[in-house]
Structures are given as structure tokens and as C-alpha cells.
């Protein structure tokens, strides 16, 4: 299984359970969902959905970088929201991170997220060629 390895970076929050921040396999990186936790403090950044979305995507970007990838290599994201009424605000922030490259995406409302946050985002991306 030399083509499979876990990714861990201190630039993003540590996993809060028995999982990895990401797994690289067969040219792809599969990133676990990122919640809006500041990696320096371990605290949720705010109760504002726009700030939470920005932190989720910043964390995701750091995990991708540690994986040998980037936001420009993302092929699919899934956005989990506690309230679909936040869609417009989440979408506005999301569009600042994905303005030219637009990966496939699903957006779903869920009953509850870890640490009672308002948003969580996961992705699959291509790993940069060596």
C-alpha cells in the first residue's frame, strides 16, 4: 500500500476523532470535513456563518497544501450546513475561494455538526504531479 498515505498538518485543526485530516491514494487526496476551528486556539472562530465558511475553506486549503495539492486541483466538494437559509452567505464566501476554477459540488442541510458549528466542508482533489 505504498500508494496510500495519511496527511497531517498543524496548519489545520487536528482530527477530533479516529480519522485523518486527509488520505492520498491513486493520485487523489480525500480531505475530511473541515469545521471552522482556528488551529492555533482550537476554538470555533465565531458564530457568523460567513466567518465560519472562510475558516473552513482556509483549513481545507492548508490540508490540501500539505497533501501536495491546492484549491485549484479540487474536483468535488460537499458543503454541510446546519441551516439551508445560510446558502447565499456560504455561497458568497465560497465564491471568493473558487472564482475561476469551479469544482463539482453538493450542498446539504444537516441536523447537527461537530462542536455545533454552522458549516463543514470536505473535498476530493488531484495531487500535483511531480
Handedness of CA 58, 60, 64, 70 (dihedral sign): negative
pLDDT at 130: 56
Pick the CATH number of 4-126 from 3.40.1190.20, 3.30.70.270, 3.90.1150.10, 3.30.1330.40: 3.30.1330.40
pLDDT at residue 1, as a whole number = 43
DSSP state, residue 117: -
pLDDT of 3 reads 81
pLDDT tens digits along 82-104: 999 999 999 999 999 999 999 99
Mean pLDDT of the chain: 95
pLDDT (tens digit per residue) in 50-74:
999 999 999 999 999 999 999 999 9
Residues 118, 52: contact at Cβ < 8 Å? yes
pLDDT for 128? 83
**Burial of residue 46, with CB atoms counted within 10 A of its CB: 0-12 exposed, 13-18 middle, 19 or more buried:** middle
Sequential DSSP letters for 47-110: S-HHHHHHHHHHHHHHHHHHTT--GGGEEEEEEEES-GGGHHHHHHHHHHHSSSS--EEEEEE-
Q: Per residue in 38-55, pLDDT tens?
A: 999 999 999 999 999 999
**DSSP run (H or E) holding 13:** none
Give the start-to-end residue ranges of the domains of the chain: 4-126
Amino acid at each position: 500500500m505504498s500508494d496510500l498515505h495519511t496527511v497531517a498538518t498543524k496548519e489545520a485543526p487536528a482530527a477530533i476523532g479516529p480519522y485523518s485530516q486527509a488520505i492520498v491514494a491513486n493520485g487523489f487526496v480525500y480531505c475530511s470535513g473541515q469545521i471552522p476551528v482556528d488551529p492555533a486556539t482550537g476554538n470555533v472562530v465565531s458564530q457568523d456563518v460567513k466567518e465560519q465558511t472562510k475558516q473552513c475553506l482556509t483549513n481545507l486549503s492548508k490540508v490540501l497544501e500539505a497533501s501536495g495539492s491546492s484549491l485549484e486541483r479540487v474536483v468535488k466538494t460537499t458543503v454541510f450546513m446546519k441551516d439551508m437559509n445560510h446558502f447565499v452567505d456560504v455561497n458568497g464566501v465560497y465564491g471568493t475561494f473558487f472564482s475561476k476554477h469551479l469544482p463539482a459540488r453538493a450542498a446539504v442541510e444537516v441536523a447537527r455538526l461537530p462542536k455545533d458549528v454552522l458549516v463543514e466542508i470536505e473535498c476530493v482533489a488531484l495531487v500535483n504531479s511531480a
